[in-house]
Each structure stands twice: as structure tokens, then as C-alpha cells.
Amino acid sequence: MLSGPLSGVVERLALSDEETLAIFELDALGAIAGQVEHRPEVGILQALTAEAAERLGDDVLARWVRAGPPMARPLDLLLSGDFGAFEDALAARLAELG
């Protein structure tokens, strides 16, 4: 069971354990213990996804993360460590809503 800000991100984006470990470069014990202080992206994604979930809903946000062609999905941006591009893609998606 994950704790802290990491659990919020994982739940909102419906990430698998493997995806979570790969995205944040964590080991399983560190993730379970919530030892993510060395990963500032966790807090940033926590805030970004909380706002997006309020506007889109958790289910829509989780589907959006996996939408698109292979290697061009928002999930692929996270897996490649391109957090800035993910933030831009999320901002663009929210801008589409007006």
C-alpha cells in the first residue's frame, strides 16, 4: 500500500506498480514506505493531477493518460521521464475544456 503524495498520483492516473517504479525510479520498498523526497516530480504531479481530476474526473484523467498512439501517449512521456512535456500535454488538454 502506497502512502503520501505518491499514492494520490498513482490512484488518479491508474498506474500499475511497474509503471510507478519506472516513472519515479523507485525500488518497491521505498515506494511502499513513501520515501520519495528525492523525487520532486511526485509533489508536482500530485498538484497537477489533483487540479486535473477536479476538472476532468479521475476516470477521464486515467483514460487520457493512456490515450493516443503508442509512444505518443501521456503515459509514455512519464515513462521516458519527460515530466515537462507531460505537464504541457495536460495543460493543453485542460485548455481544450475552456
- Residue 36: per-residue pLDDT: 77
Domain encompassing residue 68? 4-97
| Full pLDDT tens readout for the chain, 98 residues | 566 778 889 999 999 989 998 999 888 887 777 677 778 888 899 999 999 999 999 999 999 999 999 889 999 999 999 999 999 999 999 999 87
Please name the amino acid found at residue 72.
A
* Distances in whole angstroms, Cα of residue 17 to Cα of each of 11, 26, 53, 72, 88: 11, 10, 20, 21, 25
Domain count, the chain: 1
Q: What is the pLDDT of residue 35?
A: 74
* pLDDT of amino acid 61: 96
First to last CA, the chain: 36
CA atoms of 97 and 94, how far apart (whole Å): 5
**Full-model pTM:** 0.88
CA distance 48 to 91: 9
